[in-house]
Structure 1
């Protein structure tokens, strides 16, 4: 059995994430600070769910539309570099977080023997789900219709997001491997345990940190990692 204090810590961490998410939900839907790009509402809710209060601060400074309106009034019409990087990493992180949840739950449900070690299958499922969600997000936000719309979504993910998603996922997988093999090898962690999601939460935070320099490098290379024009530019 896992230590009681560790289970308690897991529940506390997950609860903090839920409370942080509730704060952003209230600001977005009750106070009316809706995102100009609607998909970013999902992105920020997912981000604060796994990062917690630190992501609430990031949202308040760089993700809240009101913050950019205030900067525009102060003569700063475009977002600063840090705001662009935060938005990009948060978006890619949301893809990875949603992919992690969807893939892990689906594999746990369909797997006949959950005691069998198959981390590589889990990782393949997580990565494929993350990329698929990234394409879906881009698809619903892309102009045009039919094949053209699908192609725009695929090409945007390949050119703009795939590298950041890959860096994020590698850090996540590294942490999960360390957790499963070294830190908490017995009994095995499964999605029916709060410890599993606590480990995933820490891994997603590690992924967020690892993806940051990649996004900064892309921006430094003049790689466009945001839409050409946003309503608050």
Structure 2
């Protein structure tokens, strides 16, 4: 059994994430500050769930102004570079966070809680990429096989490097958590400490993905300027 102080800390961290989630949820749907791109509503809700108040501040600074804009901004040349990076990292982080939750719950549902960590990591990564493709597909007015391939190509070109950087940090931390930080008793899905460890890993992923997103955005802008 985990120490009582660790369980308490885990519950507090999870509760802070839920409160942050409710703040953005109310602002989005009760006060009507809807995002021009629908999937970004999911992105911000997922981001504040694992980062908490810091992500609420990011939402207030970069996400809410998008909702207050009279129409979707097609020309973002005047938008600060930092805002573009925040949006990119938040989006890719949401893919990874949702992929982590879906894959881990699936493993647990199939009664594979003691499977090798790499199986979970492979599932997390593949699910993150799948969710990224689905998000791109939902943004398109058309639904066809060609659009699926176009969405996949866009993810590979625009987001894959950032997703990979995020996942590498997440998996590195989870490996330490399982073997060194919280080795006994083993982390399980039905323990708050498991999700607390996941929060820490996702925060590490967010920080690690920042340089990757900056590089990828800069590369796109350089190619577009040619």
Contact 1:34 1:65 in 2 (8 A): no
Deviations 1:80-114 (A, max 9, x none): 111100001000000000000000011011025x3
Deviations 1:174-229 (A, max 9, x none): 000000010111111011000000000000000000000111111222349xxxxx
Matched, 1:159 2:157: yes
Question: What is the RMSD computed on CA atoms of the aligned residues?
Answer: 1.8
- Residues of 2 paired with 1:26 and 1:122: CA distance? 33
> How does 1:57-68 map onto structure 2 within 5 Å?
57-65=57-65
1:184 alignment partner in structure 2: 182
TM-score by length of 2: 0.91
2:9 alignment partner in structure 1: 9
Contact 1:190 1:196 in 2 (8 A): yes
Matched, 1:100 2:86: no
2:145 alignment partner in structure 1: 147
171 and 127 in structure 1: CA distance in 2 versus 1, 3 angstrom threshold: same
2:118 alignment partner in structure 1: 120
Contact 2:161 2:216 in 1 (8 A): no
TM-score by length of 1: 0.88
- Residues of 2 paired with 1:12 and 1:161: CA distance? 32
Contact 1:10 1:194 in 2 (8 A): yes
Q: Which runs of 5+ in 2 are unaligned?
A: 71-75
Contact 2:137 2:143 in 1 (8 A): no
Contact 1:60 1:67 in 2 (8 A): no
2:192 alignment partner in structure 1: 194
